[in-house]
Structure 1
Amino acid sequence: MAQLTVGSATELAKSLLKAAGVPDQEADVTARCIVASDRWGIGSHGLMRLPFYLARLQAGGIKADAKLKVVTDLPSLVVFDGDDGLGHWQLQKAAEVAAERAAINGIAAVGVGRSNHCGALGIYVWPMINRGLVGIAFSTGPAVMPPWGGNSALLSTSPIAAGIPTNPPTVVDLATSAVARGKIQAKAQAGAELEPGWAFTKDGSPTTDAKEALAGMLAPLGGVKGYAIAVLVESLTGMLVGPSLAKDIPDMFASEQDANPQKISHFIIAIDSAKLSVDGENTRTADFSALVNAAGGRLPGANRSNPERPDNAENITITDSVADQLAQWSTKLGI
């Protein structure tokens, strides 16, 4: 295992992205979002993914100098065309716009279509949390889950994230598949077996082989209920924002598809929490947090550091395999 500081990891990621043609500001935001995943211990969505982004940037599947283009601009609804750009900086911008509009109008939603993978979805509820708002995020991706009772992949891992401004903040961040696909890729790179019940082969047989799972399908979280929630996520992203359904989204882990834009869609909702209460100002948020603690539990995501306020001296750990890949890309891009 290799150790880096948050500051050095962010600078390395930013330098690699800039060398691949990404403008300075977009590279900076993307690098911070990538490293935030590693800070949270979600290596499957952090620096492990950077070589895949770089390969897609070089091949043209991700447009390095993409610009967000306004498609719809209403007081409480904004929709952007992502121009095939990196999902990280685009969803961060969408969350900031949603927070600004919700602070004025009480609620706001922002969609981003024609985008790319954005890493850990929970990162993008923090622009709302940090402003005292509730944030909800949805995203789609390549089809890896079959419909309930079906035998072909039509749904992505269909992640959902939500942030509530409790103290400490509550952050719900989960895939509606039994496991995130990045975790399958991490297991494949490590040569490790999967937990039973996580995945199927492409023929629909249960498997614990990570490489077979990458070529196959994932099981839904909680059976039919997870499938139903996945349909909700696909509805709010691929169906309504578009332009692609999950079944038409290229797989970032398949190098032969690197030149094909993913055309992923994301959807953000921001709500002014102070305006929700039926009886005005109250202490129920603090009361509930105290009750959870008194019961011996903790709020979801309560141990996650604020991605908008990084500690550059903090250490993160990555596998030797990821460290070697980043070193190879540094040489390839002349850093």
Structure 2
Amino acid sequence: QLWKAAELGVTKAKEFGISLVSIRNSSHCGALGVYLYPALDAGQISMIFTNGPAVMPAVGGNSPLLSTSPIAAGIPSKKPMIIDLSTSAVARGKIAAAAKSGGSIPEGWAVNEKGESITDAQAALKGMLAPLGGAKGFALGLMVEALSAGISGGSLSTAVPDMFRSDDDVKPQSISHTVITIDPSDLGDSASYDDFNLITHQIRESGGRVPGEKRVHPMKIDNHEISLADAVIADLNSWSTKLDIEVFA
């Protein structure tokens, strides 16, 4: 759904200069930055927002109201700038990975209903995630909620089933996404692209790293490899056995 929405956004942005495509009754879409590429391939700017199950409280609050509220943005410089982040202190997937291996997490990632820090990863999955930068992260999360569930008329995060809870993992999630696409060429010249390239040059000249420069285009993955935790491999092999397909090494 989200990939098709991104492609539709490109088509409409070519026609009108800017487009907004919103989806409701969707599901977890994985890494949000993947869906920036239809726009980037067309030389367009893309911004994507999505909600999910509520895991983040308001600052000083004692119950989860917002999801990790991810934001992704792609800027079509020669080597695209890709911004992909959650507005919670950390993406929930990192806590899930730590929980699978029985590990702990740093203080400040998750809190209980009293606002106390949780470092046990398993407990953190059932707790709440702290907003990124406190009140600023929660404010950004509110923006994401409004631009995803609010615009689409979909379920608010407090009504989205949580796939990390056993009594919820078979329920439809009803997640919402919104894609905003901008065609800089509609401004009439190539000055925007020159500026995008200059920004990336200045970042590198300063000794910094351009966000997203190490990403691999999802349609150009060949022999690139990723590392998987032993617990993840065990899960995959368990499913492979159930489905009677070849197991991982």
TM-score under structure 1 normalisation?
0.70
Q: 1:45 matched to which residue of 2?
A: none
Query: Counterparts of 2:190 and 2:33 in 1: how far apart (Å)?
Result: 27
Does residue 18 of structure 2 align to residue 107 of structure 1? Answer: yes
Aligned-partner SS, 1:257: coil
Q: 1:281 matched to which residue of 2?
A: 190
Query: 1:117-163, CA deviations, whole angstroms, 9 ceiling, x for partnerless residues?
Result: 00011111111001100010000000001112211100000000000
Ranges in structure 2 where 5+ consecutive residues have no aligned partner: none
> Which protein has the bigger helix share?
1
Query: 1:189-226, CA deviations, whole angstroms, 9 ceiling, x for partnerless residues?
Result: 11121111111124432111111111110100011111
Counterparts of residues 57-206 of structure 1 (less than 5 Å):
90-206=1-117
Letter in 1 for 2:87: T
Does residue 247 of structure 2 align to residue 315 of structure 1? Answer: no
Query: 1:59-109, CA deviations, whole angstroms, 9 ceiling, x for partnerless residues?
Result: xxxxxxxxxxxxxxxxxxxxxxxxxxxxxxx11111111111111211111
Query: Counterparts of 2:65 and 2:187 in 1: how far apart (Å)?
Result: 36
The structure 1 segments of at least 4 consecutive aligned residues displaced by more than 6 Å after TM superposition are none
1:324 to 219, 226, 234: 234
Letter in 2 for 1:120: A
Query: Are the counterparts in 2 of residues 242 and 264 from structure 1 also a CA contact under 8 Å?
Result: no
Query: Are the counterparts in 2 of residues 204 and 216 from structure 1 also a CA contact under 8 Å?
Result: no
Query: Are the counterparts in 1 of residues 22 and 151 from structure 2 also a CA contact under 8 Å?
Result: no
Query: Counterparts of 1:166 and 1:119 in 2: how far apart (Å)?
Result: 24
Counterparts of residues 197-216 of structure 1 (less than 5 Å):
197-216=108-127
Query: Are the counterparts in 2 of residues 114 and 242 from structure 1 also a CA contact under 8 Å?
Result: no
Query: Counterparts of 2:153 and 2:174 in 1: how far apart (Å)?
Result: 8
Q: 1:255 matched to which residue of 2?
A: 166
Q: 1:4 matched to which residue of 2?
A: none
Letter in 1 for 2:53: P
Query: Are the counterparts in 2 of residues 196 and 208 from structure 1 also a CA contact under 8 Å?
Result: yes
Query: Are the counterparts in 2 of residues 244 and 263 from structure 1 also a CA contact under 8 Å?
Result: yes
Q: Please tell me the root mean square deviation across aligned C-alpha atoms, in Å.
A: 1.3
Aligned-partner SS, 2:7: helix
Q: 2:178 matched to which residue of 1?
A: 267
1:281 is displaced (CA, Å) by 2.7
Q: 1:78 matched to which residue of 2?
A: none
Letter in 1 for 2:57: P
Query: 1:233-259, CA deviations, whole angstroms, 9 ceiling, x for partnerless residues?
Result: 001112221321101111111122123
Query: Are the counterparts in 1 of residues 53 and 162 from structure 2 also a CA contact under 8 Å?
Result: yes
Ranges in structure 1 where 5+ consecutive residues have no aligned partner: 1-89
Query: Counterparts of 1:331 and 1:138 in 2: how far apart (Å)?
Result: 36
Aligned-partner SS, 1:154: strand
Aligned-partner SS, 1:308: coil
Query: Are the counterparts in 1 of residues 75 and 196 from structure 2 also a CA contact under 8 Å?
Result: no
Query: Counterparts of 2:102 and 2:169 in 1: how far apart (Å)?
Result: 24
Query: 1:279-311, CA deviations, whole angstroms, 9 ceiling, x for partnerless residues?
Result: x33222222222111111121111111112212
Query: Are the counterparts in 1 of residues 13 and 19 from structure 2 also a CA contact under 8 Å?
Result: yes
Q: 1:334 matched to which residue of 2?
A: 244
Q: 2:138 matched to which residue of 1?
A: 227
Aligned-partner SS, 1:316: coil
Query: Counterparts of 1:203 and 1:134 in 2: how far apart (Å)?
Result: 41
Letter in 1 for 2:103: A
Query: Are the counterparts in 2 of residues 202 and 215 from structure 1 also a CA contact under 8 Å?
Result: no
Q: 1:293 matched to which residue of 2?
A: 204
Query: Counterparts of 1:96 and 1:228 in 2: how far apart (Å)?
Result: 29
Aligned residue-pair number: 243
